[in-house]
Chains A and B, each alone.
Chain A
Amino acid sequence: GQSLEQPSEVTAVEGAIVQINCTYQTSGFYGLSWYQQHDGGAPTFLSYNGLDGLEETGRFSSFLSRSDSYGYLLLQELQMKDSASYFCAVDSGYSTLTFGKGTMLLVSP
């Protein structure tokens, strides 16, 4: 089976930095992705890590440690519009993604 664990909710203030962790147990592993979903909207792709290390895309960065079965999404200079749910997802090589249950990020002024 496959399982992913991430916190259900994280709160932060505008301008702060927040880290959303994801640990996984899967039968195969090709990479870890992150998706953002605003309330009532569709999930949209944020980042992908196929190898260990840090990937940076603007204010967002994602990290992967394959040996620890662990990754995180780092959001810097938080803005109100970053309030959303964030999902980690594992590609275990069967043409599909398995998603975590999501972390709701609440950004306050």
Chain B
Amino acid sequence: NAGVTQTPKFQVLKTGQSMTLQCAQDMNHNSMYWYRQDPGMGLRLIYYSASEGTTDKGEVPNGYNVSRLNKREFSLRLESAAPSQTSVYFCASSAGDGANVLTFGAGSRLTVL
């Protein structure tokens, strides 16, 4: 099984450009998440989808939008990128029950110039 697959792995944008990070999971998980990781800041939740058809804001949602396209796919969109959005982005999924164990993708390193 591939687990959680996110693309692209690396991306360089100019300020004001838009882009979409794609994420897909093949574990039949109900819940999906987008986190960003910055040095010394840990993992901060941007948006999540507890189940197909629902999305909710996390701790740092400003400047982002998400789409839960179906049970497998959860995309993150930057409409007008800013240098403050330079970060490593992780998609994750979980069954959404019990210990709520998250399985993470390999990460997408985004640089906004």
Contacts and interface: CB of A to CB of B under 8 A. Distances in A.
Interface of A: 8, 30-31, 33, 35, 41-45, 48, 50, 87, 91, 95-102
Contacts of A41: 106-107
A33 B92 CA distance: 15
Contacts of A31: 99-100
Interface of B: 31, 33, 35, 40-45, 48, 50, 58-59, 90, 96, 99-107
Query: Which of B31, B45, B99, B105 has the most chain A CB atoms inside 10 A of its CB?
Result: B99
B34 to A, nearest CB: 11
B43 A50 contact: no
Contact of B101 (A33, A95, A101): A33
A33 B16 CA distance: 37
A48 B90 contact: no
Contacts of A97: 45, 100, 102
Given A42-B90, A96-B33, A96-B58, A87 B42 contact: yes
A98 B45 contact: yes
Nearest to B104: A42
Contacts of A99: 35, 42-44
Contacts of B58: 96
Contacts of B43: 43, 87, 99
Contact of B104 (A33, A43, A50, A91): A43
Contacts of A91: 99-100
Given A91-B100, A96-B33, A101 B105 contact: no
Contact of A96 (B41, B48, B103, B105): B48
B104 A44 contact: yes
A45 B42 contact: no
Given A87-B42, A96-B58, A99-B42, A45 B101 contact: yes
Contacts of B99: 31, 33, 48, 50, 91
